[in-house]
Structure 1
Amino acid sequence: MSRRFAALAALAVVCAGVELVAGRGMSPAVTWDVLGGGGDTTERHILLQLRLPRLLVAVGAGACLAVAGLVLQSALRNPLAGPEVTGVTPGAVLGAVTATALGLAGWDSPLAVVLAACVGGCAGAALLWLLAGRGGGDAAQTAVHGVLVSAVLGGLTAMVLLVEPGELGSVVQWLVGTTEGRVWHHWHLLWPWALAWGAAAWLLAGPLTLLRCGDDIALAAGLSARRARTLALLCAVALTAGAVAAVGALGFVGLLAPHLAVALFGADLRASLPGAALVGAVVVCGADAAAQLFSRLLAEVLDAGRLTLPVGALTACLGAALLLVVVRRTPSRTF
């Protein structure tokens, strides 16, 4: 187990290093020199004020989404649950976009964005809860309901943008998901929120492990399944809202990273929760690095100057393909 953690941590370091050198204008040697305290003013600004906070935000958002996904899958006993397909992420996006369009939130009021995303995420989760039933229902059926809820919430978001088209440029980050332009301001917003709710998820590790085994076993162990599930859903919504407020809707990270974490570290959430955080950080960091490298290659091939591929587009494409594999391997029952 410790070897797997060490190997995953080493992979995270490699992905972080690749992301730092993936952008234009700085070679690996210059990057290393700046990290060692050298470099000129421009190089230090690019690395320390632009690339480093972008890297940290990617790591933090990936960890939040992965932990939120594992909490949801355990609480609902549904391997197809995740922030992206349970209405949580689309609801959080709708909340952030609506608050921005109404002038109630914006980059000058980051806490308001997070709170608006929390309200929207809770609304999306509650809508799925009503449709699928409190027991979670059939796994595939719940996934279908989740897609339906997500589509409805996405339509409502589009309606808000039609009413307030001038807000399109400021909210596109929440619709697609990107780490472009992330600076220390975003990191200072994200890390305390992620730390607080990540600690809350850790405290729920024991109850969530029992919930994965079924409500009957949880009740036999003296656990109030309804109360534990409610607290877990609140924790998942809060983690998702923080990630959405920082980077937008990164597709399928919260759905697939938990499967990798459980496969690597087992079903005991005391080990798989921190493992999921590390997996999510690696996935988003690696995807962001790949998006930057692909953008550079595409710009050179097309001779189009500077092109930027949002990391959310890459995670959505890869995640959709992997989701098909998960659905085909998932039986008609829950865990």
Structure 2
Amino acid sequence: MLDLAWSVDELARTRLAFSPLWEIVASVRVLARPGEHALHLPWVRQASAALADAGIDVAPLADLVAGRSVPRFLAPAPSSPVPQLADELADLRDVSPRTVRREIESMDPTRPVSLTRLHRDPEAGLDRLAGLMERYWAVALAPAWPRMRALLEGDVLHRSRLLAAGAVEDLFHDLGPAVHWAEGALTVAQRRIPATGAPHGRGLVLVPSVFVWPRVVSRTHAGWQPVLRYPARGIAGLWETGGTTSSPALRGVLGRSRSALLTSLATPADAGDLARRTGLKPCVVVKHLQLLQAAGLVTVADDGVCSRTLAAEALVTAGAD
């Protein structure tokens, strides 16, 4: 169990970030056990076919992440809010051989024979592993990354607003049934996680994730900032294509097209994604987004990704109720 007492200092040091490297690791676990991750089956079918066509064997990586916990050198806390995969892979290549061997030797269950080569020569093995991850990313995740990134950025934006407003209870209440906040203490009910109840002055790294669903994953180690990985907000609509249904009340106020766009923005998206989700023509989507933005219901980032504002969140929620 992760059990963190809170303080003003803890809150000030808490930060949000996401990690492409972690999404590689977590997605490989999804491919190995797709039955446990039914939400991601549309992606599993596409990625499996693409990997087979490209002749990419993910077994060396799958064997490494198949245990009850992922080796720490494959799942470091993100060092920046939006890290680049190239930088994360460069850090992976620089992991010390001693660390690699220690993590492999402590795997539970015992490491498979396939990892003997990595254990014997970690430096060369990490270079091969990073190269495999680059190829895997290009084939299995890069096509879906704009959609995934929009979802992750939307979660970071939403929780950053809550954190800035000091709404700590709201920050944690929807992360999952295992996560509880009460009377200044955060508890994550997980087996094999040591409890650390005293304030430690390092805050917490909150990491929204696509492929961690349906679980949350926490990690604490002496001397390191605790990490909590959780399913990103709006994950249920990530792989949807077309057919967004808005509430009758919302349609009565905004009209069918604009209400459909706001409803589909449960997860942030650009105009192209919204056209696919709603079935509207791209030119119609752009026109209505401009109107929604002018009304203060939608924000548009520099890269074209749209998100609902807090006013729009309240409007959609009220309509659904």
User: TM-score normalised to the size of structure 2?
Assistant: 0.29
* Structure 1 or 2: more strand by fraction: 2
Q: Which has the higher contact order (CA 8 A, sep 6+)?
A: 1
Higher helix residue share: 1
- Mark the structure with the bigger radius of gyration: 2
